[in-house]
Amino acid sequence: MIARLLAAHPEGLLPTGLSFTPSTTTYTDYKSDPAYWSHLKEVQNCNQFVEMVGQVGDVVLLHPLMLHSAAKNYLREPRVITNPPVSLKEPFNFARENAEEYSLVERKTLNALGVDRLEYRITTERRRIVPKRVGVQGKILEDEKERLRNHGLEV
């Protein structure tokens, strides 16, 4: 679902809450853009769900385009999850000369699209998107460094 959406938008999509909006939108209200895509709306069309259950110490790696959600914690036992921001060194390349050079994520994406190769070209400038949480944490860190400097400590 997500791979098809991204393949249809070489101009790129911006995360807008629980949705995507084309990076080239001119709408001030992004929900008015005809290409606006809502996770909450689209998940209603899903008919295949898999519940993941693990043991202490288990690690689950998901494809970065996988729609996912947390399950209810009925036992109220502590759970830990990390969702670190990931940046690519270079954009995905779905049209490699040698198929053996595809990354695991590229292979899985091509498989999900039902093709062996995809001539896909990014049509707009790449932008760095900083999650709100990362921005808040960066501000907290800078404030703390400033407090330390004000107390004569080297940072």
pLDDT of residue 71: 78
Helix (H, G, I), strand (E, B) or coil at 115: coil
d(Cα 10, Cα 12) in Å, to the nearest integer? 5
Helix (H, G, I), strand (E, B) or coil at 132: helix
Mean pLDDT of all residues in 29-33: 93
**104-123 pLDDT, tens digit each:** 889 999 998 999 999 988 88
What DSSP state is assigned to residue 37? E
Per-residue pLDDT at 85 exceeds 70: no
d(Cα 52, Cα 60) in Å, to the nearest integer? 8
Alpha-carbon separation of residue 60 from 52, 80, 103 (angstroms): 8, 12, 18
Task: Select from 31, 35, 32, 29 the least CA-distant residue to 13.
Answer: 35
Percent above pLDDT 70 for the chain: 99
User: Model's pTM, two decimal places?
Assistant: 0.67
